[in-house]
């Protein structure tokens, strides 16, 4: 059997095939592999309730275990019921696994979007972002490698930096230009009240408190750009002591 390098590096790449290989190796290590394979084909599965021999041949196999003659008569199981039961068991297993590990569907990456890459043998993401140039379909290899790509949050540009769409006017209007989107004028801040500092008498060593009626000094917060998460929510940092 052949295994891809991606399967060898990531343990969660193809668990179904890895489990089948482990079971086959256990059967081949038995003293008589043929009897072990026959017993395995005659064992009912938990998900379907039927053995592989019943699904292939329509009857149970005669093994070394004692069994009633009526149990060996040909009897085809309900194929639709078996498929429905198997699909329900797989869906239930998928829901439980995603709930336990917190798995969420990742959004698709668009061409031109910035992303960071992490190889299977690395523990940290790359510091320099990589630009996605093109998309080559949705094969299984690309879908499984999506967990090693992390989209960077998009920074919302200010209104002054946006490109305005300019439409030339007609000749009758004198070649006037019509601006599709104009920036709103910035509001003029209100003048601050004038504060006259008064000297403190007898409190040079201890320091003096501000006079009555004078508001305390307020630190001006610098405006930070808004960051959006990969799900579209605005990231709001915690306000720590007003700084």
Give the domain ranges of the chain.
31-101, 114-151
Tell me the CA distances in angstroms from 211 to 8, 142, 192, 214, 216, one per residue in order.
73, 68, 17, 6, 10
pLDDT at 212: 59
State the pLDDT confidence band at 25, using cuts at 50, 70 and 90: very high
User: What pLDDT does residue 213 have?
Assistant: 57
Q: What is the pLDDT of residue 24?
A: 92
The pLDDT score that the predictor gives to residue 87 is: 92
Rounded to an integer, what distance in angstroms lies between the CA atom of residue 126 and that of residue 42? 51
Q: Is the pTM of this model over 0.85?
A: no
Could you tell me which of 105, 188, 98, 198 has the C-alpha nearest to residue 146? 105
- Tell me the C-alpha distance between 73 and 61, whole Å: 10
User: In the predicted model, what is the mean pLDDT of residues 35-56?
Assistant: 89
% the chain with pLDDT above 90: 14
Work out the pLDDT band at 38, boundaries 50, 70, 90. very high
**What span, in angstroms and rounded, lies between the C-alpha atoms of 215 and 124?**
48
When pLDDT is averaged across residues 142-160 and rounded to a whole number, the result is 58
Q: What digits encode the pLDDT tens for the residues 117-135? A: 777 677 777 776 666 566 6
Structure-block tokens of residue 189: 């801040």
How far apart CA 58 and CA 84 sit, in angstroms, is 18
Residue 47 DSSP class: T
pLDDT at res. 238: 80
């Amino acid at each position: 059997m052949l295994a891809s390098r991606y399967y060898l590096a990531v343990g969660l790449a193809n668990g179904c095939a890895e489990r089948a290989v482990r079971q086959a190796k256990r059967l081949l290590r038995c003293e008589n592999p043929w009897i072990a394979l026959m017993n395995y084909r005659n064992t009912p599965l938990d998900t379907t309730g039927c053995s592989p021999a019943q699904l292939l041949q329509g009857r149970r196999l005669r093994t070394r275990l004692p069994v009633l003659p009526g149990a060996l008569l040909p009897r085809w199981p309900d194929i639709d019921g078996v498929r429905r039961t198997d699909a329900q068991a797989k869906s239930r297993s998928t829901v439980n696994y995603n709930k336990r590990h917190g798995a969420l569907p990742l959004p698709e990456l668009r061409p031109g979007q910035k992303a960071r890459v992490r190889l299977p043998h690395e523990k940290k993401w790359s510091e320099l972002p990589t630009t996605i140039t093109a998309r080559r379909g949705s094969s299984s290899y690309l879908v499984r490698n999506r967990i090693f790509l992390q989209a960077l949050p998009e920074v919302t540009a200010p209104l002054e930096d946006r490109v305005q769409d300019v439409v030339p006017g007609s000749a009758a209007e004198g070649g006037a230009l019509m601006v599709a989107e104009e920036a709103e004028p910035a509001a003029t801040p209100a003048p601050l009240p004038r504060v006259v500092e008064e000297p403190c008498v007898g409190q040079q060593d201890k320091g003096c408190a501000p006079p009555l009626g004078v508001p305390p000094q307020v630190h001006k917060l610098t405006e930070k750009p808004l960051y959006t998460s990969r799900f579209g929510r605005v990231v709001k940092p915690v306000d720590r002591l007003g700084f």
